[in-house]
Amino acid sequence: MQDNYHREINYLRVSVTDRCNLRCFYCLPPHGVQSIPHEEVLRLEEMTRLVQAAALVGVKKVRLTGGEPLVRKGLTAFVEALAAVPEIDDLAMTTNGILLAERAKELKAAGLKRVNVSLDSLRPEKYARITRGGDLAKVWAGIETALALEMHPVKLNTVLLKGLNDDEIVDLAGLSRQFPLHIRFIELMPVGTCKPWAADYFLSAGQARETIEQNLGALHEVRKLAGSGPARYYRLPGAPGTIGFIPAVSDHFCDRCNRLRLTASGGLRSCLYDEREVDVKSALRRGAPLEELARLVARAIALKPGRHHMGEAGEGGGQKAMSRIGG
């Protein structure tokens, strides 16, 4: 289904929980945020029905997010239920990777096709500092497991943080030479906890690319990569993996945005930075038929703005914590 700006909307990100087993400093305050009460969180069966309804209006790709999706009980059965929806041809997950090594095999067997793993540092002490306690060894074990299971393409998401991990850009990019990994450098977005100070840590994707080319050589654009989304991908000569850039702030990709977001509490949001949400939980809990739910999805698509105004003077979005929207 097309929105009012003739973009084909075929991608739904489903936040299965607002809870997380890490406290990344740009995402959550040290002690986290108040969790959504259990009864307010959508049941996985309700999320399945919403995906079935979204498929009726053209959604073909679903990504599971959080919080951290792997802390949600019943996730494997949920993946199996989504994989059984005939119209869904791409089922992926974004995870911090802490629990991935122990869960990846069962999730792949259930129908999960691929994973994106958040990785902001290759240095154990720095990784623990950014995540407030995360164990880099567990994350790397998860990445190795995903590669062994051939959950390709395995993507690594690195948030660019000036003065914190900008000295690791070359090392992170170099992983694409060693492994069939796809490293994505993402600009820090002023959302939730980091909104007041995001500008202090901001490093553009263009600056990251310049650093890589100065140290590793010219990057050559890759035209096609499964589930490429908003990133533009490049390859170093002879590398099995790629390097991607997501300039969400400096050079937004709104003109080709194809996604909706379902929050764990049952709000359907058409833009990360737009505070408007369509309430689907009420309809789900009174047993609305799929056709009615599909009309609510269509309403959310109609609300999709032409572009976000992230980082601009006077803008008012980005107040809600990323863990509650779905990262």
Q: What CATH number is given to the structural domain containing 166?
A: 3.20.20.70
User: In the predicted model, is pLDDT for residue 155 greater than 50?
Assistant: yes
Please compute the mean of the pLDDT values over residues 71-98 and round it to a whole number: 98
Please compute the mean of the pLDDT values over residues 222-238 and round it to a whole number: 82
Task: Tell whether 36 is covered by a domain.
Answer: yes
Task: Tell whether 3 is covered by a domain.
Answer: no
**pLDDT the model gives residue 101:** 98
Does the N-terminal peptide bond of residue 326 adopt cis geometry, omega within 30 degrees of 0? Answer: no
**pLDDT the model gives residue 321:** 60
User: In the predicted model, is pLDDT for residue 305 greater than 70?
Assistant: yes
State how many domains the chain has: 1
Q: What order of strands is seen across the sheet that includes strand 181-186?
A: 220-222, 232-235, 242-246, 181-186, 154-159, 114-118, 90-95, 61-65, 11-15, 259-262, 267-269, 278-279
- pLDDT tens track for 121-145: 999 999 999 999 999 999 999 999 9
Q: What is the mean pLDDT of the chain?
A: 92
**pLDDT the model gives residue 192:** 73
Task: Tell whether 193 is covered by a domain.
Answer: yes
Please compute the mean of the pLDDT values over residues 68-87 and round it to a whole number: 98
**pLDDT the model gives residue 1:** 93
pTM of the model: 0.92
- pLDDT tens track for 248-263: 888 777 888 999 999 9
Task: Tell whether 80 is covered by a domain.
Answer: yes
User: In the predicted model, is pLDDT for residue 54 greater than 70?
Assistant: yes
| Distance, C-alpha 255 to centroid of its chain | 19
Task: Tell whether 5 is covered by a domain.
Answer: no
Q: Which range marks the domain in which residue 179 is found?
A: 11-325
Please compute the mean of the pLDDT values over residues 281-305 and round it to a whole number: 97
**pLDDT the model gives residue 314:** 45
- pLDDT tens track for 169-196: 999 999 999 999 999 999 998 887 787 8
Task: Tell whether 2 is covered by a domain.
Answer: no
User: In the predicted model, is pLDDT for residue 230 greater than 80?
Assistant: no
Task: Tell whether 127 is covered by a domain.
Answer: yes
**pLDDT the model gives residue 310:** 60
CB contact set of 296 (below 8 Å; sequence gap of 6+): 53, 268, 278, 280, 283
Share of residues in the chain with pLDDT > 70 (%): 93
